[in-house]
Structure 1
């Protein structure tokens, strides 16, 4: 089972579907295994990993109901603290954003903005909106992945921070097209979220004016 990505909270493995579950037309699955933290009390560590694994599975499934493409969850393994899910074929947005022509980039980012609005309208914040956590499929759909830091939260603050994180990613990783890309995201967000979007966008500006943002995993 090859490791394809090592993260702070979880490792991702690629595995043949029949080896994990049963024979089917699906060739490969992605296995996300939440990492144990040695510095935590063992019982607390298990409870946290269990709750976060279960919550992530629920958020991914609920995002579909909101109209946002996400991987299919095949299995929630609460013994091994891992999720077995669809392997989405496509290109990570981080790798293609700057290579697109301007109209295509605007269309893609507008779609991203609309999908963020759908999540927020459904009471979900992603928690880690970066271009590394978005995949464009051959069919043109934009899949949101990695809801490991997500939560149910309808507050303006949480929504503002969600969008701020994406803005920060655009400025740091895609600085040459950041302004154009973010404006398209905002346009899509406003179009989908309508009047409720204005308060959130104002909060984004407030968050950015505060200076350093403290990531969720660093908060006490």
Structure 2
């Protein structure tokens, strides 16, 4: 696996953040202080040697282009996503904002550090973002807990008149950032939206078996938040039934 010949890596101080089956993520030092934290995130898609070279190039370029377009659309919709600085189809890369103060929803759920009341707030925040994506025809395509970033926001309410008074009340909310839109698409169908939800449900059931109530809360909030929530939930029941049938047939 050769990635060091990439000019972005060759010319910038960097470190490997994550290596997956589809891409490598690198943290690049920002030499010109363009970013708020002095770092970029470089996503470099890997060459798939088992595929025909022309097909591999075509698929990779399609995913890079689609991811960039969807990220820009999300920004226009007011959905927080990493800022895209540039993409290079020949080098198979997207250079984007590095959100160093966020962690994946997967890590948050695995840590079991939040009580049930806060988990309900988190599930509602996630549901609101997914509903906004779907109401604007954005299908994620790989909506797992690894592809949702989370940062807790604590807002103090009220001003105690002295230090001896009861502490200020704190409102807890979460900033939600969906990521990895390489498989995203544009669709208004309940089927495609339901499949997105099914992927998330399966990710929670298989990776976070003790967090089934999180998805239940998410779905309840999604139905309320989305203009088409009830229709999507009804379609989700059909998708689930097909999934169970496939599991039974092996």
TM-score normalised by structure 1 residue count:
0.88
List 4+ stretches of structure 1 deviating above 3 A.
Answer: none
**Structure 2 residue aligned with 1:2:** 15
Of Structure 1 and Structure 2, which has the larger fraction of its residues in strand? 2
**Structure 1 residue aligned with 2:63:** 52
What do you get for the CA RMSD once the two structures are aligned? 1.8
**Structure 2 residue aligned with 1:119:** 133
Matched, 1:205 2:237: yes
Encode CA deviations 1:117-158: one digit per residue, 9 max, x unaligned.
111111111111111111112543111111122111222111
Q: CA deviation at 1:44?
A: 2.2
Q: Secondary structure at the match of 1:146?
A: coil
Q: For 2:199, which of 165, 169, 176 is the aligned residue?
A: 165
Q: CA deviation at 1:177?
A: 2.2
**Structure 1 residue aligned with 2:142:** 128
Equivalent pairs counted in the alignment come to: 209
Matched, 1:24 2:34: yes
**Structure 1 residue aligned with 2:164:** none
Q: Which has the larger radius of gyration?
A: 2
Q: For 1:92, which of 76, 82, 104 is the aligned residue?
A: 104
TM-score normalised by structure 2 residue count:
0.78
Q: Using the alignment, how far apart are the partners of 1:184 and 1:70 within structure 2? A: 23
**Structure 2 residue aligned with 1:70:** 81
Q: Using the alignment, how far apart are the partners of 2:191 and 2:33 within structure 1? A: 45
